Amino acid sequence: MLAHRLLRIIWPAFLAACTLELLVFAFVDPMELQWADYVPGWSRQTVYAGAFFAFWAVSAGACFLATLLHPAPDEINGADRGRLTA
């Protein structure tokens, strides 16, 4: 069950990271990146890989929070009906 829950988090996060990677680097050239006049000597592939894993981590965090907020099937189906009285 843990593997199933983990796949619910990782797979949509992977797809979101792929989409973000395509969108961001369609408009940004990794060789033109600089931070406060500091130009890192990274290759394009290093920037692509680092950005992909950063996008994946952020997306996985969002998916994890979504699974925390999603109620359990027992709560939705009313497994606790015996305790609820009208």
Interatomic CA distance for residues 48 and 56, integer angstroms = 12
The DSSP line for 1-13 is: -HHHHHHHHHHHH
Interatomic CA distance for residues 83 and 27, integer angstroms = 57
Model pLDDT for residues 33-65, shown as the tens digit of each residue: 666 666 667 787 888 888 899 999 999 999 999
Interatomic CA distance for residues 55 and 16, integer angstroms = 8
Work out the pLDDT band at 71, boundaries 50, 70, 90. confident
Model pLDDT for residues 22-34, shown as the tens digit of each residue: 998 888 777 776 6
Tokens standing for 1?
Answer: 């069950």
pLDDT of residue 53: 93
pLDDT of residue 79: 62
- 0.85 surpassed by pTM: no
Give the domain ranges of the chain: 14-70
